[in-house]
Amino acid sequence: MYIHTFEKLEVWQLSRKLAVDIYKLCSGFPKEEMFGLSSQLKRAVISIASNIAEGTSRTSGKDKAHFSTVAFASLMEVLNQLIIANDLGFLDAEKLTELRVSINEISNKLNALRKSQMSS
C-alpha cells in the first residue's frame, strides 16, 4: 500500500493522535454541549491534521507554508477552547496540562515545518 507524504510526517501523526484524544474527551462533555463547544473543538482539531495533509499536495513552498500556518491557527483555536472547557469544569487541570504538552510539541513541529517549506 502506498503511503502518502503527509502520513510520514511526525507532526501529522501527532495531530491525528490529538484529534482522537479530543474526540474521546468530548464524549464526556455534557449533552447540551454537543452542538456548542464540543462541536467547535472537534472541527478545529480535525482541521489541524487536514491542513497538514492538504499542504503536502501543494507545489510551491509558499502554498505549503500557508496550510501549515492555517494548521497552526487551528491548533491555537483548540488550545483556547480547551482552556474554556477547563474554566467550565468540563476537563480537569491535569488533563489540560497533558493536552498542552501535546499542543506545544505539535506547535514546535508545525513552526519547523513552515520554516522548511518557506525555504523550498
Question: What is the CATH classification number for the domain harbouring 75?
Answer: 1.20.1440.60
The 10s digit of each residue's pLDDT in 46-93 is 999 999 999 999 999 999 999 999 999 999 999 999 999 999 999 999
Cell numbers given for 80: 483556547
What is the chain's length? 120
CA angle 105, 10, 64 (to 5 degrees): 95
The residue segments making up the domain with residue 86 are 5-118
Q: Which of 6, 85, 75, 4 is nearest to 46 (CA)?
A: 75
pLDDT value for 119: 83
CA angle 15, 16, 17 (to 5 degrees): 90
- Lowest mean pLDDT: which of 1-5, 23-27, 104-108, 116-120? 116-120
pLDDT value for 120: 73
How many domains does the chain fold into?
1
Instruction: Provide the whole-model pTM.
Output: 0.95
pLDDT value for 71: 98
**Structure confidence at residue 44 as a pLDDT band (50, 70, 90):** very high
CA angle 96, 36, 108 (to 5 degrees): 40
- Amino acid letter at 48? I
Mean pLDDT of the chain: 96
Q: How far apart are CA 69 and CA 26, in angstroms?
A: 25
